[in-house]
Structure 1
Amino acid sequence: MAYKTVLTITGVSGGDRDIKLAAKLSEEIGAHLSVLVVALAAPPPIGDYAAPMSDTWMEERQADIDRLEQRTAAISDLLAPMEISADVTNTYPEIAWADEIIGRRARYADMTVVGPDLLSGETLKEKTIEGALFSSGRPLLLVPEGATATLRPKNVMVAWDSRIEASRAMREALALLVAAEDVRLVLVDPVEGESFQGEEPGADAATYLVRHGVKITVDRLPSLGRSVAEIVKRHAIDTGADLLVMGAYGHSRLRERIFGGVTKSMLEEVPLPILMAR
């Protein structure tokens, strides 16, 4: 699938690196850029202090809205001279609902890009990643500090374990894989068998990719007592990967998002751009 709309999220404070990064990626593939500016609203005061705090809360809320409008206008001015199609919108959700709001917005893009500015934060970073992964049905591209991002990668690594999440990530990245010069399908401690990863682990996925014209190599790696995340990250670095593609694992309980162990570990220390899907 071609990427025609790229979404990026930004807060009311911080720099413009993420905006410029998303603009560069959009220009690279001729995609439309959508920017969503988010200010997180504190919930209204309740209980015994609700009445005396209401005026202060309203003043703080208005100040947030003013900063949100100013940031939106500044980003519009930043994008205006660029030779890309773009739009800028904003939202002011309560913190508890921010991931759902961001996720719904991400449904109307082909990819959400999270850059180093947002990754250096806390609450908005968490809400953006949770919303994009769990509430959009679209892939998420994470670009850490110091990484060089491109949507025309030459060397791509796909972390494969035959689960639905990995299959979806591979499918969402198919356009990138077809255009790449070298794609490595990596399995850590693969298990043979029909209920696991087939008689020859990785062969079925490789055959699927070859039929699409992907130049594929299958790497089966032992963990030797190390974590899967450590093996995947090290192999990506050793093979000079420009991009890592992997599924995002986890489940939802009420409104709490709980990431799987490998996904959480990869997010905590990202060595290169990662395309995730669930």
Structure 2
Amino acid sequence: MRLIAVLDDAQTAALTLHTAGQLAARLGGADICAFHPMPATDPDFQSPDEGLPDPAQQARFAQTVATRAHAIRQIFEHWRSTAQGSPHAQWVEQAGPPRTTLSLAASKADFVVLGPASAATTPTTRQSFAAALYDAQATVLIAPPTPQPGFGQHPVIAWQDTPNLHRATAAAMPLLRTAERVSILLGEHHPNAVADPTLLATLRTLGVAVTLERFVLTEQSVGEQLRARATQAGADLLVMGAYGRPHFIEWLFGGPTVDLLAHATWPILTHH
């Protein structure tokens, strides 16, 4: 399998690589592409009203881009030389519009690993999320805010009978089949109003230890209820569907709805 670890921020690069390494190990080995998007134009000069950068401004921007790339590459090289299992990983720099270059690369990957989402992330990181999730329609693994010792031995699935969630669970099947146990969380407005997910029977047929936990939705946000129940269950991975843009991106980065990731202690695997 081919994984792309998107390294667009020095603050989160080590965590992104750690999560990519955990995913590769759980898959039984995978090629990891450490992908660093390098903007070719200064975002401060993107409209006619902003004019054109003079030679000095162009030189400063080019130096900033090169310095950031060097710093992130050093993080990658350190991770590659010290990571357990000697992961098969390569460094790739791609100049051009970050959303365009990443979308093309992500469309050829089995999984795209992104750094943690928060309200403080850069515009480039937000573009990375949009490029991977929506432009490339890739399966995305979002790293947690802190390194976790385990990964994917107890996935928790936030169940919705939607194409997005079905695509996410299909992509996660190599992890689900080999997990120690799987939990499915099903929120409903009335007790037993929703039929058992077909995934429940599928996993049981495969010999997976899987449980279904139903809960009645309350006035509390759905995200907060999922977070609390997944944490209580001892999850080390959350599988969920990504709903339509731009609302999902807004939600990821701390919009008016509750930011589940701000309090999550586990990675999130998602698909649009």
Q: Shorter-chain-normalised TM-score: which range? A: 0.7 to 0.9
| Structure 1 residue 174, shift from structure 2 partner | 0.6
1-structure distance, mates of 2:244, 2:72: 33
2-structure distance, mates of 1:267, 1:31: 26
Equivalent residue for 1:26, pick from 16, 19, 24:
24
1:209 aligned partner: 203
Q: Which amino acid aligns with 2:2?
A: T
2:7 aligned partner: 10
TM-score (norm: length of structure 1)? 0.78
CA offsets 1:216-264 (integer angstroms, 9 cap, x no match)? 211111122212111111100111111110000013xxxxx33288766
Contact 1:119 1:125 survives alignment (8 Å): no
Q: Which amino acid aligns with 1:127?
A: Q
Q: Which amino acid aligns with 1:109?
A: A
SS at match of 1:35: strand
2:188 aligned partner: 189
Q: Which amino acid aligns with 2:6?
A: I
SS at match of 1:113: strand
SS at match of 2:90: strand
1:66 aligned partner: 66
2-structure distance, mates of 1:36, 1:245: 24
2-structure distance, mates of 1:49, 1:133: 30
Percentage identity across aligned positions? 21
Which is bigger in relative contact order (C-alpha 8 A, separation at least 6)?
A: 2
1:254 aligned partner: none
Contact 2:3 2:33 survives alignment (8 Å): yes
2-structure distance, mates of 1:69, 1:260: 25
Q: Which amino acid aligns with 1:50?
A: G
Unaligned runs of 5+ in 2: 254-258
2:248 aligned partner: 259
TM-score (norm: length of structure 2)? 0.80
Contact 2:10 2:72 survives alignment (8 Å): no
Q: 1:247 to 1:12 in 2, by over 3 A?
A: closer
Deviates more, 1:98-107 or 1:42-51: 42-51
Q: Does 1:166 align with 2:165?
A: yes
SS at match of 1:125: helix
| Structure 1 residue 27, shift from structure 2 partner | 4.7
Q: 1:76 to 1:238 in 2, by over 3 A?
A: closer
1:272 aligned partner: 266
2:42 aligned partner: 42
CA offsets 1:102-139 (integer angstroms, 9 cap, x no match)? 12211222111223499963223211221111122321
Contact 1:118 1:124 survives alignment (8 Å): no
SS at match of 1:213: coil
Unaligned runs of 5+ in 1: 252-256
Q: Which amino acid aligns with 1:100?
A: T
SS at match of 1:102: helix
1:110 aligned partner: 110
Number of equivalent positions = 260
CA offsets 1:191-240 (integer angstroms, 9 cap, x no match)? 79xxxx9x852242312333333322111111222121111111001111
2-structure distance, mates of 1:230, 1:263: 13
Deviates more, 1:34-43 or 1:241-250: 34-43
Contact 1:189 1:223 survives alignment (8 Å): yes
Q: 1:166 to 1:183 in 2, by over 3 A?
A: same
Contact 2:34 2:76 survives alignment (8 Å): no
After TM superposition, the structure 1 = structure 2 runs for residues 93-172 of structure 1, keeping only pairs within 5 Å, are: 93-94=96-97, 98-116=98-116, 121-148=121-148, 150-151=150-151, 153-172=152-171
Q: Does 1:244 align with 2:238?
A: yes
| Structure 1 residue 168, shift from structure 2 partner | 0.8
2-structure distance, mates of 1:93, 1:242: 36
Q: 1:12 to 1:129 in 2, by over 3 A?
A: closer
Contact 1:72 1:88 survives alignment (8 Å): no
